Structure 1
Amino acid sequence: MKCVKPLLLATAIASAAYASANELNTVIEKSSAINESAIKTQGKIDDITDSMQSRLNKFKTLNKEIDGLTVYNAQLSKQIKNQLEEMAAINASMDQVSVIERQITPLMMRMITGLEQFVALDVPFLPTERAERVAGLKALMERADVSSSEKFRRVLEAYQVEMDYGRTIEAYTALQTINGQEREVDFLRIGRLELLYLTKDGQQAGAWDADSKQFIALPDSNISQISKGLRIARKQLAPDMLTLPVQAAE
């Protein structure tokens, strides 16, 4: 009977140790579960934080875009206003087109008539070319497929050509009646100041006389200077002084 007590004591101690071990395991398991839950919670917090930061960045970007669009829209509004004003001005101008066209056609006809009269009274250089230019303008005025602006441009162009004649020197070949015989000669035009000719054989020279409205023969002493002038006009000789007969201005 003396051996029973120690056995019971050992059993009680073992039972107590087993119970303590179970409780410790339970505490450890719960602690692990708490740690895992904390990790998951922290992950969710991090995800929420990242999402909020991303949305904040998008919000800032959108605000910048809105500011830019506001400035752009303000600029567009100014441009649209200016375009509307320009359109109104164009519409007003278009209303006057028919009136202007009715006025400009008679003006061009008068300009062509004036040009024709001027050519007829002018020094008779390049008569065929200048007469054809005037005739071309008259034919142009009758064409319906050419705009009034183009017609006016061509008339002004013809006037410009005539103006250029007054400040240029030119040499060209044409036929000239000399002593009742038609001969090929070289003409020398010096602006509108002088129109002279020299026969191809270099033996006879003449000049246009504005008073008698005809060509008159020149002394042989002028032949060398006219020949020199022809070479200068054809750029065969450098520009130089010429001694030529000039009609005195009245």
Structure 2
Amino acid sequence: MKGVKPLILAGIVAASAAVHANDLNTVIDKSSEINNLAAQSQTKIDKIADSMQGRLQQFKTLNKEIDGLAVYNAQLTKQLNNQIEEMESLNLSMDQVSIIERQITPLMLRMITGLEQFVALDVPFLKQERKQRLESLSAMMERADITSSEKFRRVLEAYQVEVDYGRTIEAYTALLDVDNKEREVDFLRIGRLELIYLTRDGKQAGSWDQQSQSFVALPDSTISQINKGLRIARKQLAPDMLTLPIHAAE
């Protein structure tokens, strides 16, 4: 019977070991399952964290865009307000321009009439050229395709040309009735002080007498000075003193 007890004890130990082995396997399995679940949870947490980080970054980006749009809208608002003010100013200017245009047209017509009267009373040099300029101005005033500003510029330009005549010396060739015969002569204009002619053969000379409104003959002694003046006016000689009679000035 002594041999039976050890066998029983060994069986108990073996059974106990088997039970402990099963429990250990169960614990290991549970632990593995827990670890797997923990890993899955961590993965979900990481995904949620990444998603939150991405959304936070997106939120920050959107905030920057909103701030930029706010600044842009403020700038646009300023530009719009400035454009509205400019439009109001332009509308006011247009109204004023209409008033000015209604006033400036009669003024230009009076200026042209005054210029015609002045030319008619002036020393009769470049008669055809000045007549054509005045006719061009009168015709221009009837044209609708030319702006009022351009018309006014041309009228002022014509006045400037007339002003320049008074401070320049000029030589030109034209036809003149000399001794009841139309002849080609050289004219010498010295400002508005003197208008002298010399026949092309160099034998006859005369100057404009404003009082009698006609040309009067000059003595032959003046012909050399007239020739000199013609050459100076044509830039063939350097400017120099001239000795000539004065009839044109009043």
TM-score, structure 2 length as denominator? 0.79
Q: Mind listing any 5+ residue stretches in structure 1 that lack a counterpart?
A: none
Match of 2:21 in 1: 17
Query: SS in structure 2 opposite 1:32?
Result: helix
Distance 1:99 1:120, change over 3 A: closer
Match of 2:244 in 1: 245
Task: Kindly provide the CA deviation profile for residues 154-205 of structure 1, in whole angstroms up to 9, marking residues without a partner as x.
Answer: 4443333222211222111112233343321111111111111222233333
Distance 1:207 1:244, change over 3 A: farther
What is the CA–CA distance in structure 1 between the aligned matches of 2:155 and 2:226, rounded to whole Å?
34
Match of 2:33 in 1: 29
Overall identity of the aligned pairs, in %? 46
- Work out the number of aligned pairs and report it: 244
Task: Kindly provide the CA deviation profile for residues 15-72 of structure 1, in whole angstroms up to 9, marking residues without a partner as x.
Answer: 4224313322321231232123112212211211221232123113302321342243
Query: SS in structure 1 opposite 2:195?
Result: strand
Q: Is the 8 A contact 2:185 2:197 kept in 1?
A: yes
What is the CA–CA distance in structure 1 between the aligned matches of 2:45 and 2:163, rounded to whole Å?
97
Match of 2:125 in 1: 125
Q: Is residue 52 of structure 2 the alignment partner of residue 48 of structure 1?
A: yes
Distance 1:177 1:244, change over 3 A: farther
Q: CA deviation at 1:11?
A: 4.3
Q: Is residue 222 of structure 2 the alignment partner of residue 222 of structure 1?
A: yes
Query: SS in structure 1 opposite 2:17?
Result: helix
Q: Mind listing any 5+ residue stretches in structure 2 that lack a counterpart?
A: none
Structure of higher RCO (CA pairs closer than 8 Å, 6+ residues apart): 2
Task: Kindly provide the CA deviation profile for residues 94-140 of structure 1, in whole angstroms up to 9, marking residues without a partner as x.
Answer: 4x468637xx43x5454444333322221111122223333444455
Runs of 4+ in structure 1 deviating by more than 6 angstroms, as ranges, are: none
Q: Is the 8 A contact 2:225 2:244 kept in 1?
A: no
Between 1:144-153 and 1:32-41, the stretch displaced more is: 144-153
Match of 1:73 in 2: 77
